[in-house]
Chain A
Amino acid sequence: MTKKMANTSGGGVIAPTSNISLVHTTMEALTTRAPGLPGIGTFYGRSGLGKSFGAAYASHPAGFNGIYVSCRSFETKKSLAEQICKAIGITPKGNIPAIVDAIVEVLSLSGRPLIVDEVDYVVDSRTLELIRDLHDASGAAILLIGEEHLPAKLKRHERFDNRVLIWQPAVACTVADFELLAKQYASEIRIDPELKKRVLAETQGITRRVVVNLENIKRWCDRQGAKEAPADCNVDLYTGRAPGRAGL
């Protein structure tokens, strides 16, 4: 594990922030689990925490090589099965059992994990059973990605719940993550520690907002011709909050 993480450090790569490491450890645990253990993992959290980058990491062809699908609100068993076929690169033929057999064949033959994003859309429908069937038949590792209420929603399905090996929440941006992101998005600028704190607090550690603010700070410095962003620089921090009602 440590070896793979060491490979992802350095400039111009997915910043090995906490969430990428968490996806890495989760995938590692799922794919190397002992026989007999269930192989479903969940990765969940508020939007903007970097779950999509985690999904990209898990489906990277030179990494875990996961088969990535993303659920939509109207997903049915058949449409999800067809999406998986498309992601694998086979032509779906026949009824659902035939298609599922084909998918199971590929999953067990290739050992590729399945990554299902936006699981919230199917969690209340019977489409979820398809995922369980695929898991039971193929023994493939499956990573479910969803919003923060995913565990509560999944726990309602008892038969599903006890197949989940790992419940992994995505975490908010830490100070260390901030440093990594700053190195990537604004490497040439020194940011005052006070400003860093302010950005983390105002954005509530949501990675996407942190990145937007780093870009704003960088642009501010470029305009000023400065190499340093002081604590009191008048950059409008992006907080993601809807603007309040304009005062009359």
Chain B
Amino acid sequence: MARKPIHLEMAGMLTPRERMWQAIRQKRTFTCMELQEACGRPMLNLYSIQDYLLALARAGYLKQLNKQGQDARAKFDQVRFELVKDSFEAPRLDKQGRQVEQGTATLAMWRAMKALKEFDYKDVQKAATLGKVCEVSLQTAKSYVTALARAGYFRTVRESAGPMPARYRLVRDTGAHPPAITRRKAVFDRNVGEFTWQQTEQEVVDGLE
């Protein structure tokens, strides 16, 4: 491993996990505090950094260079870590260091739209479902496709008519990350870092009662 790895800049807005991972790949060896510093602003919670580092160590991505003291939390900041298993994407792990599959369905639908070119929500559901590994319900696919349609990602190829659902073509492929539907039912696209659709005040009022 003589060659210095190329610094890859991830596109779009990064999640805390991705910010940590990018800093880890840059520094190679570090302590928890050094990493917090390297992650920049807004400052990340030290406990979330610790949790992620321990998970990465359990999964074999990091190696502890020295042992930690008796009082785990207090002495944790003295532990040095080294990156031993590289990966481009920030590993998604739970505290035990197991792979987390959450969010796969949305990503699968977003990618299916790009590959299918012209689709209705049923096509998206079929293409995004992969047996037991990734199950997408018709309802999920329908609400995701409808939300993106409202947010202006598609050109309508055929309006819906009776039982035939509307057919769309993806015209605004903003990037690798699937646009997210937030709890406020807004569409947020972190590829470009903006809300691409939000309810108007009137629509919120109309929904009351």
Contacts and interface: CB of A to CB of B under 8 A. Distances in A.
Interface in A83-103: 85-91, 93, 101-102
B175 interface: yes
Interface stretch (B42-50, B53-61, B125-133, B193-201): B125-133
A86 B176 contact: yes
B207 interface: no
A60 interface: yes
Interface in B128-167: 128-134, 138, 163-164
B9 A90 contact: yes
Given A7-B131, A14-B129, A61 B108 contact: yes
A52 B86 contact: no
B130 A13 contact: yes
Most chain B C-beta atoms within 10 Å of own C-beta, residue among A8, A60, A63, A110: A60
Interface in A34-72: 52-53, 55-57, 59-63, 68, 70
Contacts of A237: none
Contacts of B126: 12-15, 53, 184
B114 interface: yes
Interface string B86-105: 11110000000000010010
A13 B130 CA distance: 6
A68 B175 CA distance: 11
Contact of A62 (B115, B133, B175): B133
A68 B115 contact: yes
Contact of B104 (A13, A62, A93, A215): A62
A31 B109 CA distance: 23
A85 B88 CA distance: 13
Contact of B117 (A6, A70, A110): A70
A238 B10 CA distance: 46
A86 B9 CA distance: 11
Contact of A86 (B11, B127, B138): B11
A105 interface: yes
Given A7-B131, A12-B126, A13-B126, A60 B111 contact: yes
A10 interface: yes
A109 interface: yes
A5 B132 CA distance: 11
A52 B8 CA distance: 30
A187 interface: no
A55 B104 CA distance: 17
A131 interface: no
Given A7-B130, A109-B87, A52 B115 contact: yes
B63 interface: no
A6 B131 CA distance: 8
Contacts of A68: 111, 114-115
Contacts of B10: 89-91
B138 A12 contact: yes
A3 to B, nearest CB: 10
A203 to B, nearest CB: 18
A56 B127 contact: yes
Interface in B66-93: 86-89
Contact of B134 (A9, A55, A62, A70): A62
Contact of B6 (A9, A15, A101, A110): A101
Query: Most A CB atoms within 10 A — which of B104, B134, B138, B177?
Result: B134
Interface string A222-234: 1000000000000
Interface in B165-202: 173, 175-177
A165 interface: no
A117 interface: yes
A106 interface: yes
Contacts of A14: 126-127, 129-130
Contacts of A13: 126, 129-131
A35 B9 CA distance: 30
Which 9 pairs of residues, A with B, have the shortest CB-CB distance?
A7-B131, A89-B176, A56-B115, A56-B127, A55-B115, A62-B134, A13-B129, A62-B133, A56-B112
Given A14-B126, A93-B9, A222-B163, 10 more contacts: A6-B131, A12-B126, A53-B126, A68-B111, A70-B114, A89-B12, A110-B88, A110-B89, A115-B115, A117-B115
